[in-house]
Structure 1
């Protein structure tokens, strides 16, 4: 799934979604890497991860 214009992720490897200041979001992957989530992808990402 696309989480940012420069990143594709496998949702099975996503550990959590974190909100930072200024409406910025980050995905934490199972290997500890953090990836940005674009504003256009936040709602879809939350829905796919069943976060509401």
Structure 2
């Protein structure tokens, strides 16, 4: 992989991404589940 690959970077507030995997593999499920929970919770308040 080239050094410019997003998978090799670390952003503030996010865990260090593994250089051998796309970051979506590491944080994808967490982001989707969190978003789904927020949307469901928000729907209850509508």
| Superposition TM-score, scaled by structure 1 size | 0.23
Bigger strand share? 1
| Superposition TM-score, scaled by structure 2 size | 0.23
Bigger helix share? 2
Larger Rg: 2
- Relative contact order: is structure 1 or structure 2 higher (C-alpha 8 Å, sep ≥ 6)? 1
